[in-house]
Amino acid sequence: MEQRIGVFVCHCGINIASIVRISDVVKAIGDYPGVIHAEEYKYMCSEPGQSMIQKRIKEKKLNGVIVAACSPTLHELTFRNVAVRSGLNPYRCEMANIREHCSWVHHDKDMATAKAIRIIRSLVEKVKLNEELEPLAVSITKRALIIGGGISGIQAALDIANAGYEVILVEKSPSIGGHMAQLSETFPTLDCSQCILTPKMVEVAQNRNIKLYTYAEVDNISGFVGNFKVNIRLKASYVDWDKCVGCGLCIEKCPTKVSSEFEENLSKRKAIYVPFPQAVPNKPVIDREHCRYFATGKCRVCEKVCELKAIDFEEEDKVIEEDVGAIVVATGYQLYDIQKIGEYGAGKYKDVITGLQFERLLSASGPTGGEVKRPSDGKVPKRVSFISCVGSRDPELHKSYCSKVCCMYLAKQAMLYQHRVPKGKATVFYIDIRSDGKNYEEFVQRAQEEEKINFIRGKVSKVYEDNGELVLHAVDTLSGEPLEVRTDLVVLGIAMTPASDIDKLTKILKIQSDKDGFLTEAHPKLRPVESLTPGIFIAGCAHFPKDIPDTVAQSSASASKVMEMFGHKELSHDPMVAWVDEDLCSGCGICISLCPYDSRVLEIKEGKRIATVNEILCEGCGSCIAACPSGASQQRNLQDNQLLKMTDAVLSE
Amino acid sequence: MDNIIDKISDISGENIYACYQCGKCSAGCPSVEQMDILPNQVIRLIQIGRVELALKSNAIWVCASCFMCSVRCPRGIDLSKIMEALREIHLREDIDHIDIKDVRRENVYELPQIALVANFRKQTG
């Protein structure tokens, strides 16, 4: 093929032109073999600049284009689209970076100019050998998997389902609803959490586009964006939910009582149970670990009382497979282990409790019917102390981050306590108050001004029991007064951490998490709901502690990303991927262990082991190519011979 | 070293600016009742550049280096080392708070030798 390459050198205003002598570059490169046209312009990315390139491609019948300007990260797509509009294959267009790699990092004009010429020369050599490529088409299964059925997963599921796509919602506990179902009233409006949540739970159950798997876990995921295969383990509930009508007789007659997870261990549930009365689905499961029959081989009372014969002790876990095109991870949070806060006697003293436990004490459907009674003796506490930043903002001993919601919920809980016990005395110990949401600061001010709640700036050092009272050692850092505060109940605003099984899930999904286990977004500002793995999105507290409005917003954002993907007929994939010269491949398999995307697979072809490439999975990272001992693995448009020619062009005089 | 804050950091090995004034050190300090200012205020005075006020306080001499503050500090600051650094700065001024001539003979016989040595180490420059 006759090479008819055009080089377009950009000034980038003064960004390049103040250091690199553009006219010298144009002159030098115009004489380089294969280059039949060279030209400069002040802003190549501007509309006139793009039109100029477009015009020249047609006029000069160019079959290769190099734009010497900024980084390809910024404008490669811009100029490849120019090529397409001019009838040139976009992969015959390359950018030579003479800004970040040259003018921005040098001062000497002569040397910078010489370097710019060398950079462009090497790209000319590359384009000479560039193949005409077409993007790879990938089909999409237009169904989404949502992992986690808290408010985050519920919101994402409803949004996607209401847009007309199928959704599979997997929740590990027997009911959807998550932590939000446990809350009493929500800040800053004080509307009842269950009242706003349960209609959404019912909507999930009734939506025809949503397939709900509760008491289920994701076991394994294979495949890639648009084409995931998911193995879902349906845990044995020992109750046939198709037969069961949720009459509750089995629960009433069950003789075994165990601590209720939903009530945060403040009350008991039976071994066969529905987590809470508004559960969706409202069907019981048998807790195998505590069931008397499973422990001793005797009982089966539930089976005897069930007229519908719904109890099935022989049931086993089932693993089913579902095809999905996109995944939203919304696995939420759990509280940091209270036992680790030794100086507050948490776990030792019954009346030192977590914020979630206090939510249950405030909740009208909670173990005390909404009356605040302390766990030790059931008395109404006359004085309650709330401590913020417990385990949070403590890089030395616990978690370094701010858990974001504690300031607000402690202010709310103090306020609700004051409403329930008007003569009671609520004290909040804080270090800083973070009330950065709509109407949040006004809410905290209301707690101080109208409810007269005492806010003390200082961290409690120690809590101990004395004569049936709890004693707090603190200091008011504003007045400098040491304080010894006697109280009846201590509520800890304890740190939030990712759900306990997040590590297992990140391995299955091949997505990344940070040092604390929170899922990593693709870009902290511009791509906040995408993971680094295409087709997997993140929402809610699995990403970082956040309140309900933020969680809902992020979940809707994830849903819209999924819908954006599903709006296409098919996905296109960059064709600059690895390929293998089957004559050279010895089937050693080094590439397979190195590939971070599982795109290299060993196959037997005519009796010979060949490490083939799944082009759709390949992200073109080049690890396998660098490692291949026989040179059989190559990357399209970055072949070994291209790289050698490019190196020669850079080094030769 | 010209900057006294750098000097305190250098002697103590602690980062004064890591403190976010939560007050947990003062809340747990067993000697706080005897102190004229709180342990967290000692750090605060250094942070705002009023080191002379911290040096004048009795708090730095009352501190018994029991390390309660150090084990509980969420920012990992060993406050007892900062207290020690402030005492060191006093002592490095080469001021003798006691003269060997002034020690009475009967005291020399009555006091344990170790107490005398400790006293001279602490009170002389």
Q: Where are the domains of chain B?
A: 4-93, 97-125
Q: Which of B26, B38, B74 has its CB closest to that of A397?
A: B74
Q: Does A602 touch chain B (CB under 8 A)?
A: no
What does the CA dihedral A55, A56, A61, A64 come to, rounded to 10 degrees?
A: -120
The amino acid that residue B80 corresponds to is: S
Chain B residues near residue A431 by CB distance under 8 angstroms = 20-23
Is the pLDDT reported for residue A339 higher than 60?
yes
Q: What is the pLDDT of residues A215-266, one digit of tens each?
A: 999 999 998 899 999 999 999 999 999 999 999 999 999 999 999 999 999 9
Q: Which contiguous run of DSSP H or E holds residue A417?
A: helix A406-420
Q: Please give, rounded to a whole number of angstroms, the shortest distance from the CA of A480 to a CA of chain B.
A: 6
Instruction: State the CATH class of domain A5-135.
Output: alpha beta
End-to-end CA distance of chain A: 26
Q: Is A588 exposed, middle or buried (0-12, 13-18, 19+ CB in 10 A)?
A: middle
Overall fold of domain B4-93:
Fumarate Reductase Iron-sulfur Protein; Chain B, domain 2 (1.10.1060)
- The more confident residue out of B120 and A441 is A441
Alpha helices for A227-287 (secondary structure H): 249-253
CA distance B88 to A219: 61
Q: Please give, rounded to a whole number of angstroms, the shortest distance from the CA of B91 to a CA of chain A.
A: 28
Q: What is the pLDDT of residues A579-637, one digit of tens each?
A: 999 999 999 999 999 998 889 999 999 999 999 999 988 989 999 999 999 999 999 99
Q: What is the pLDDT of residues A171-199, one digit of tens each?
A: 999 999 999 999 999 999 999 999 999 99
CA distance A29 to A42: 18
Q: Does A490 touch chain B (CB under 8 A)?
A: no
Determine the residue among B14, B21, B25, B26 to mutate to test chain A binding: the one whose Cβ has the most chain A Cβ atoms within 10 Å. Answer: B26
The structure tokens listed for A353 are: 């409790």
Q: What residues 418-437 of chain A have any CB closer than 8 A to a CB of chain B?
A: 431-432
Q: Does A395 touch chain B (CB under 8 A)?
A: yes
Q: Which positions in chain B have a beta carbon within 8 angstroms of at least one beta carbon in chain A? A: 20-28, 32-33, 37-38, 40-41, 68, 72-76
CATH superfamily label, A336-497: FAD/NAD(P)-binding domain (3.50.50.60)
Mean pLDDT of A563-571: 96
- If one looks up domain A136-235+317-332+499-571 in CATH, what number appears? 3.50.50.60
Overall fold of domain A577-635:
Alpha-Beta Plaits (3.30.70)
Q: Please tell me whether the peptide bond between A135 and the residue prior to it is cis, using omega within 30 degrees of 0.
A: no
Q: Please give, rounded to a whole number of angstroms, the shortest distance from the CA of B12 to a CA of chain A.
A: 18
Q: Which residue of A has its CA nearest to B73?
A: A396
Nearest CA-CA partner of A39 in A50, A23, A55, A51: A23
Do A136-235+317-332+499-571 and A336-497 have matching folds?
yes
CA distance A265 to B5: 50
Is the pLDDT reported for residue A145 higher than 80?
yes
ipTM computed for the complex: 0.77
Cβ of B74 within 8 Å of Cβ of A458? The answer is no
Domain ranges of chain A: 5-135, 136-235+317-332+499-571, 238-315, 336-497, 577-635
- DSSP per residue, A495-551: PEEE-TTHHHHHHHHT--B-TTSPBPPSBTTTBTTB-SSTTEEE-GGGTS---HHHH
Residue B124: its pLDDT value, please?
Answer: 76
Asked which of A18-27, A232-241, A536-545, B110-119 is least confident by mean pLDDT, the reply is B110-119
Is the pLDDT reported for residue B1 higher than 60?
no
The structure tokens listed for B75 are: 């920012």
Q: CB contacts < 8 Å between A and B, how many?
A: 71
Alpha helices for A284-352 (secondary structure H): 292-296, 301-305
Residue with tokens 């020399």: B108
Q: Which residue of A has its CA nearest to B30?
A: A473
CA distance A508 to A513: 12
Q: Give strand ranges (E) for B51-110.
A: none
CA distance A204 to A186: 22
Nearest CA-CA partner of A41 in A33, A50, A32: A50
